[in-house]
Structure 1
Amino acid sequence: MNALVLPGVYVPQEDTALLVEALSDEPVEPDTQVLDVGTGSGALALEAARRSAEVTAVDVSWRAVWTARLNAWLARLPVRIRRGNLFGPVRGRSFDVIVANPPYVPASDIRREPRGRSRAWDAGRDGRLVLDRICRDAPALLRPGGALLIVHSALSGPDRTLDLLRAAGLKAAVVRRRWIAFGPVLRARQGWLRERGLLSAGDEKEELVVIRAERPL
């Protein structure tokens, strides 16, 4: 996952690596249509493109779009990279695989929409500002037998993600889990998260999960 990352763009970390592992289990073939929503540096899109999938990547940040385009050019991989808000640029299309590493960190300041670098992680008071939209809109873009792979923190309600995806008619389950040390953002917020009951006094690690949801044939 070596990639150039422009200032203000999310640097691939443990959550990206966990999602790459889950993607490696999918039967990606040369005609497989893959969507990477919230692509950031393009790391996930490039992983799919290396397996000869037909890949489209979307991000709301122009810096992310240019970063992903630069990395695709350096890797000599064909990836369609579009600027837009979640699924807006791909309306009317359908996909075999959708991957998403959205912002999911609960944020105490909800008086304004996240801006700048914080858009890569701040996700409202419950961490679901973007997650709920993905759970609502992604199922309609999946082809029969297609799969959505989404990574987020256990602090952001995996059970709600599962419930929403199942309510949309998908078969959903947690397929990957990993505990990681707090990064800078969680370390800065751990006092507030403990006040809210999301962390215990002795917690020093965060659990990441990958949820796979499949549209029945």
Structure 2
Amino acid sequence: MSAEIRLPGLPLVALPGVYTPQDDTRLLLRALEREGVRAGSTVLDLGSGTGALAVAAARYGAQVTAVDIAWPAVLSTRLNAWLCRRRVRVHRGDLATALDGRTFDVLVTNPPYVPAPGSRPARAAARAWDAGRDGRLHIDRICDAAPRALRPGGVLLMVHSALCGTPATLARLTSAGLRATAIDRTAVPLGPVLRSRYAWLRREGLLSPAQETEELVIIRAEQR
């Protein structure tokens, strides 16, 4: 069965196995609103999940492309665009598929960023959050690809946990030639996945003793 999600002005559903919008999605929605996306802007929602960000951008009049590697997410995005009566082009694919020589005014993404023990690739629903031992498996790829994904003056909006290293993200984007800054932060209670890995995260030095929250960060990087 699908799950109904309540976000302001966005009646959404998530098919089984699709990451449901949480605090990180809400932060990105706020950043997208502040960015002033307007009619005719081209927007790529990379790793669309339910399509919350894609639908929000389409609501502003943008020409939106949404991409996700998981078929349930692709179907959820298509369904939610239909329910909200918004036009969104939705494709199954990865970062390479999403770009394919195209450029955008805005690239918005909520990539997998949860540090995960072991070396096996994430499976099933965990693909929506597991991102290698340091949580940067997808973040680094996006940082490296952002310059060729953005038009002059184009903007990357990305959310991730401070556990992944905010300075590392800013430095990587700056080295790629973008103007990068952290524009929003919020502390949220540790979720069930992080709590289940609490001992391992502490051994890795990613959580301090008695830490009960994580900081979510919005990264904004602009093409020069």
**Same fold, judged at TM 0.5 (above):** yes
Given candidates 197, 201, 222, the residue that maps to 1:189 is 197
Q: Deviations over 1:59-85 (max 9, x none)?
A: 000110001000001111000000001
For the pair 1:125 / 2:136, whether they are aligned, the reply is no
Partner of 1:82: helix, strand, or coil? strand
Partner of 2:170 in structure 1?
162
- Do 2:115 and 2:131's aligned partners in 1 also have CA atoms closer than 8 Å? yes
Displacement, 1:27?
2.3
Q: Percent identity?
A: 57
The equivalences for 1:95-174 within 5 A come to: 95-110=104-119, 112-174=120-182
Relative to structure 2, which stretch is displaced further, 136-145 or 9-18? 136-145
User: Going by fraction, where is strand more abundant, 1 or 2?
Assistant: 2
**Unpaired runs of 5+ in structure 2?**
1-6
Given candidates 176, 199, 204, the residue that maps to 2:212 is 204
For the pair 1:51 / 2:51, whether they are aligned, the reply is no
Question: Which 4+ stretches in 1 moved above 3 angstroms?
Answer: none
Distance in 1, matches of 2:114 and 2:121, equals 14
Distance in 2, matches of 1:132 and 1:171, equals 16
Distance in 2, matches of 1:162 and 1:46, equals 28
Displacement, 1:57?
0.4
Distance in 2, matches of 1:204 and 1:28, equals 35
Distance in 1, matches of 2:22 and 2:210, equals 24
Displacement, 1:188?
0.3
Distance in 1, matches of 2:117 and 2:192, equals 15
For the pair 1:16 / 2:25, whether they are aligned, the reply is yes
Distance in 1, matches of 2:37 and 2:161, equals 26
Partner of 1:5 in structure 2?
14
State the aligned residue count. Answer: 215
Partner of 1:88 in structure 2?
97
Partner of 1:38 in structure 2?
47
RMSD: 0.8
Relative to structure 2, which stretch is displaced further, 88-97 or 176-185? 88-97
Displacement, 1:28?
1.2
TM-score (norm 2): 0.94
